[in-house]
Homo-oligomer: A and B are copies of this chain.
Amino acid sequence: MRALVVEDDPVIADGVAQALAKAGIVVEHASDGEEAEHLGATEPYDVAVLDLGLPGRDGIAVLETWRKQGATFPVLILTARDRWADKLAGFRAGADDYVIKPFRLEEVVLRVQALVRRAAGHAHAVITAGPLAYDTQLGTVTLEGMPLKLTAMEHRVLAYLIHRAGRVVSRTELAEHVYDGDTDRDFNALEVIIGRLRRKIGADAIETERGRGYRLKR
């Protein structure tokens, strides 16, 4: 884990940094808005701790810049100001949590960990097989980055093959996983699906192991 701490007061900055480090987080530090903007927009952090009371550039403006540049890491805001308007502005700018000074270091660590934990919950789970990539979250399959247009049945078959890429999958096994329950299994239906898939993803992507089943090239 990698965190950016934006804080001009060296005492607070040091305290937060050490507390986070003790929790196993790699900490980098920016002491003014410009440096913060640059680092946050270019480096891949997992979380940022941002003080609003910066000299010069406003913390909210820094956050807005980050978000405009496409940074998605969660941001915990530190502030001495307890005013409603600040909270609102912070949330609107894309902050994820708030801690009011003075605070306990443990609280900051806990909240940072909570943010990281939740943000990690949607790391994209992508399974690849050769030029194919199956995004389990989006429910889409791409071929060399290009999204494939698949029917429901084709999708089910290909998804299963990708999960078992490199292994021989018998027709029986395929049918069991692709059809629910007690459908009459005529393998010819599957053969047709395989054929249509081959036309979409390349004829040699799915190999036939005669008498044993199919194998998707890895």
What 1/0 mask marks residues of chain A from 136 to 176 whose CB sits below 8 Å from any chain B CB? 01111000000000011101000000000011100000000
**Quick check: B88 and A110 within 8 Å, CB to CB?**
yes
Number of residues from A at the complex interface, CB < 8 A: 48
Residues of the B chain whose Cβ atoms lie less than 8 Å from the Cβ of A110 = 87-88, 91
Select which of B91, B111, B125, B215 is within 8 A of A94 by beta carbon.
B125
In the complex, the answer to whether A73 meets B123 with C-beta atoms within 8 Å is yes
Assess the B94–A138 pair: CB atoms within 8 A: no
Whether the Cβ atoms of A87 and B107 lie closer than 8 Å is yes
Label chain A's interface by main secondary structure. Answer: mixed
Which candidate, A2-10, A31-39, A112-120, A198-206, is the interface stretch facing chain B? A112-120
Known pairs A71-B123, A91-B110, A95-B114; list 6 more (Cβ under 8 Å): A67-B124, A93-B125, A94-B124, A121-B122, A139-B168, A152-B210
Determine whether A59 belongs to the interface, using a CB cutoff of 8 Å to chain B: no
The interface residues of chain B lying within 8 Å CB-to-CB of A168 are 138-140
**What chain B residues lie within 8 Å of A74 (beta carbons)?**
118, 123
- With A155-B212, A212-B152 in contact, is A96–B124 under 8 Å at CB? no
Contact flag A67-B151 (CB < 8 Å), given A87-B110, A118-B74, A137-B92: no
C-alpha gap A23/B117 in the complex (Å) = 26
A211 at interface by CB-CB < 8 Å: yes
The answer to whether the Cβ of A72 comes within 8 Å of any Cβ in the partner chain is yes
Q: How far is the CA of A212 from the CA of B150 in the complex (A)?
A: 11
Using CB atoms, name the residue of chain B closest to A94. B124
Q: In the bound complex, what is the Cα–Cα distance between A42 and B43 (angstroms)?
A: 40
Q: List 23 A-B contacts (CB under 8 A).
A: A67-B124, A72-B121, A72-B122, A84-B104, A84-B107, A87-B110, A88-B106, A88-B137, A91-B113, A91-B114, A91-B125, A91-B137, A93-B125, A94-B123, A96-B123, A97-B114, A118-B119, A120-B122, A137-B167, A138-B167, A151-B210, A152-B210, A155-B212
* Closest beta carbon of chain B to A183's beta carbon, Å: 15
Q: Is the C-beta of A209 less than 8 angstroms from some C-beta in chain B?
A: yes
Distance between A47 CB and nearest chain B CB, rounded to angstroms: 11
